[in-house]
Structure 1
Amino acid sequence: MNTKPFLSTDDARAIAAAAEAEARRNGWAVTIAVVDDGGHLLWLQRLDGAAPISSYIAPAKARTAALGRRETKGYEDMINGGRYSFLSAPEIEGMLEGGVPIVVDGHCVGAVGVSGVKSSEDVQIGKAGIAALKLG
């Protein structure tokens, strides 16, 4: 039987704290979502001032990144490049930049999704959160 790493509650908390610190350092009001490898929500945090819709968008981005095992920007680029049929792909709704997978020893163990500022800034926050795990 194979074994693989997984995100613990402490890991999700550390990711969220580091992501929140990055957002606050820049004065950004966002929602931060952390999911496991199946896209199931482990952590959701909406900072003061974040738009209510961001509490739906951030988990969708995270879920899409976890299930697809890649950054959600790839989906957005694909659709913007004219592959509109991809909008009908099942189980993925957050096809906007801002979802980042968490990869440990070649295994996708989950993802972070952020919503509330420019997409590139959402990614910056998500990657700052993942950096808290000190994966290398």
Structure 2
Amino acid sequence: MKTKHYLTLADAEILMNRAVELSAQRSFNMSISIVDEAGALLLMKRMDGATPLTAHLSLEKAKCSAMSRRPSKFYEDIIRNGQMGFLTLESVTGMLEGGEPIMYEGQLIGAMGVSGAKAFEDAEIAQKAIHDFFQQIS
């Protein structure tokens, strides 16, 4: 049998604290969601000043990344290139840049979704928080 790695609540809290810290350093008011490998919510924060919509978007971005094992930007690029035919607004909300899968030893263990700044800045916060997390635990 294989060993299956997973995010604990303590792991999610470390990731969240780093993402909030990075957001505050850049004066961003963001919502941040962390989900498990199946897209189920582990932890969410909406920082003071972040709009309610960002909470919804951060969760959808995280779920999209977890279920696809790809950054959500992958789908945003497909949509921009006109390659996806009949999508509804509901199905597109998670397909915006800012969702990043969390991989460990080749396994998906969860994902982080960030919303509240420009899309590329959302992604930068998620990527840096994930990178810093793995630096901290190694």
Cα distance, 1:12–1:33 mapped onto 2, change above 3 Å: same
Instruction: Provide the residue aligned with 2:110 in structure 1.
Output: 110
Q: Is the 8 A contact 1:23 1:30 kept in 2?
A: yes
Q: Is the 8 A contact 1:7 1:110 kept in 2?
A: yes
1:24-48 superposed Cα distances (whole Å, 9 cap, x missing partner): 0000000000000000000000000
**Structure 1 position 56 matched with structure 2 position 59:** no
Q: Is the 8 A contact 1:14 1:132 kept in 2?
A: no
Amino acid aligned to 2:64: T
Identity %: 38
* CA distance, structure 1, for counterparts of residue 74 and residue 86 of structure 2: 11
Unaligned runs of 5+ in 2: none
Offset at residue 127 of structure 1 (A)? 1.3
Q: Is the 8 A contact 1:79 1:87 kept in 2?
A: no
* CA distance, structure 2, for counterparts of residue 92 and residue 64 of structure 1: 10
Offset at residue 84 of structure 1 (A)? 2.5
Offset at residue 12 of structure 1 (A)? 0.3
Offset at residue 83 of structure 1 (A)? 1.3
Using the TM superposition, name which of 65-74 and 122-131 deviates more: 122-131
* CA distance, structure 1, for counterparts of residue 116 and residue 105 of structure 2: 30
Report the secondary structure of 1:109's partner residue: strand
Runs (4+) off by over 4 Å: none
Cα distance, 1:134–1:11 mapped onto 2, change above 3 Å: same
Instruction: Provide the residue aligned with 2:78 in structure 1.
Output: 78
* CA distance, structure 2, for counterparts of residue 78 and residue 122 of structure 1: 19
* CA distance, structure 1, for counterparts of residue 19 and residue 133 of structure 2: 11
Q: Give the structure-1-normalised TM-score.
A: 0.92
* CA distance, structure 1, for counterparts of residue 78 and residue 34 of structure 2: 24
1:93-130 superposed Cα distances (whole Å, 9 cap, x missing partner): 50000000000000011100000100011011111221
Unaligned runs of 5+ in 1: none
Report the secondary structure of 1:44's partner residue: strand
Tell me the matched-pair count: 135
Amino acid aligned to 1:74: F
Instruction: Provide the residue aligned with 1:40 in structure 2.
Output: 40
Amino acid aligned to 1:117: A
**Structure 1 position 97 matched with structure 2 position 97:** yes
